[in-house]
Amino acid sequence: MSSSPNILLWNTRGWHLHAKVDECRSLINDHHLDIVCLVETTPLDQQLLPFQIHSGETHNFNISIGGRILIKWNASLFSLQTIQASPQFIHCLLSGQSTPPFYLTVVYAFHDSSSKASLWADLAKLNPTNNHPWLMVGDLNRGPQRGLTPWRNEVETLHRGAISNSFMTS
């Protein structure tokens, strides 16, 4: 029997307040989280994350000055293979004993349009060749505009050509 993992995505904006660390600890314990994805994080945050279980971790700190994305998971339940990492995303394959394999892409986009254009082009190239489910989560660093969700606005106005033949069209 398969079960869905409990996943948290959180834009920490750094762990400058101990209350954030305490709240994360509570969320992990109260909701029995299996995978925690933090964006807008730093290498210092890596040491503070209060994961109470034997955990695996991956991050993009070595390719992004100051850090950006940290993923921790319950290594007794899942194995994680990082397929590609950039300063704006980590794309990986998770598999578990009671969970079918699935792709997880965690995004923390740069603020400027030219960097976002390269992000969308890179994401469009991922295109897995099998039928595993694919979960993409993150922060596009774009506020909503009237009538459009931030995601849809990004797709419609900035990157129409880059994604027209990709998995992100709907």
Domains, the chain, ranges and CATH? 7-163 (3.60.10.10)
Percent of the chain with pLDDT over 90: 18
Q: What pLDDT digit, counting tens, does each position of 19-36 carry?
A: 777 787 788 888 888 898
Give yes or no for residue 58 having a pLDDT over 70.
Answer: yes
Q: What pLDDT digit, counting tens, does each position of 9-18 carry?
A: 888 776 666 7
3-state secondary structure the chain: CCCCCCEEEEECCCCCCHHHHHHHHHHHHHCCCCEEEEECCCHHHHHHCCCCCCEEEEECCCCCCCCCEEEEEECCCEEEEEEEECCCEEEEEEEECCCCCEEEEEEECCCCHHHHHHHHHHHHHHCCCCCCCEEEEEECCCCCECCECHHHHHHHHHCHHHHCCCCCCC
Query: What pLDDT score was predicted for residue 93?
Result: 94
